[in-house]
Amino acid sequence: MDFKDWRKTTDKPEEEGRQRAVPGKYSGRRFEDFVGQQIREAMERGEFDNLPGAGKPLRLDEDVYAGDRALAYHLLKSNGYAPNEIELAKEIRVEYERAGERLAGVRRQRQTLLSRRVPPFASEKRAFNAALAKAAADYEKTLRDLNRKILTLNLTTPAPFHRSPFDVEKLVREFRESCQPL
């Protein structure tokens, strides 16, 4: 058997062993492109026409992962309710968004007072500073209440659904730094 040093020749062994691309076979391009091409070709041939259930909504009522609670979840869903842990997670999210909206309103009020041609009057400054202090106190109280709800949620749900509690001091400090008194 003759020995060839492939480093010194222009011919590479991969080029000799490589075969030409076979239609319908994956040939080194991106897999998503290959799959997309296969789907497009099947659609052109009409293989997706007249499939059973075409044009009808998917049946997503069956929950194979619910186990023993499947009937309870079905009753809750059909009456417009969700399991307690999902309702609690939604409540936490909605309350946090509302708190953020209230803070945004205070920031807008500050920006409006500062952008006027006439500087704010002393009474307006006092009223804004009082509203700012109340908003910061309410925000802190809301975050502490939400942390209690998060603790309850974490105790009643499996680990993948756990949420981290809010760092109350850090969030309140960031709000106070972003919205200084007048």
Domain boundaries, given as residue ranges, for the chain: 84-178
Burial class (CB in 10 A: 0-12, 13-18, 19+), 176: middle
pLDDT of residue 54: 79
For residues 136 and 116, what is the distance between their CA atoms, to the nearest angstrom?
24
> For residues 133 and 94, what is the distance between their CA atoms, to the nearest angstrom?
23
Taking the alpha carbons at both ends of the chain, their separation in whole angstroms is: 90
Q: What angle do CA 21, 24, 27 make, to 5 degrees?
A: 40
Q: What is residue 116's predicted lDDT score, i.e. its pLDDT?
A: 92
Exposed e or buried b for every residue in 75-91, given b needs 16+ CB within 10 A?
ebeeeeeebeeeebbee
Residue 31 is predicted with a pLDDT of 67
Q: Which amino acid is at 29?
A: R
Whole-number Cα distances in Å, 16 to 10, 11, 12, 19, 115: 12, 8, 7, 8, 74
What is the reported pTM?
0.60
Instruction: Tell me the longest C-alpha to C-alpha distance in the chain.
Output: 100
DSSP-H helix ranges across 2-83: 13-17, 31-45, 70-78
CA 167 to each of CA 2, 101, 127, 174, 176: distance values in angstroms, whole numbers, following the listed order: 72, 18, 28, 11, 14
pLDDT of residue 17: 47
pLDDT one digit per residue (tens) for the chain, 182 residues: 577 776 766 655 554 445 555 565 656 667 677 788 888 999 899 888 888 887 788 776 666 677 787 888 778 878 888 878 888 999 999 999 999 999 999 999 999 999 999 999 999 999 999 999 999 999 999 999 999 999 999 999 888 889 999 999 999 999 999 999 99
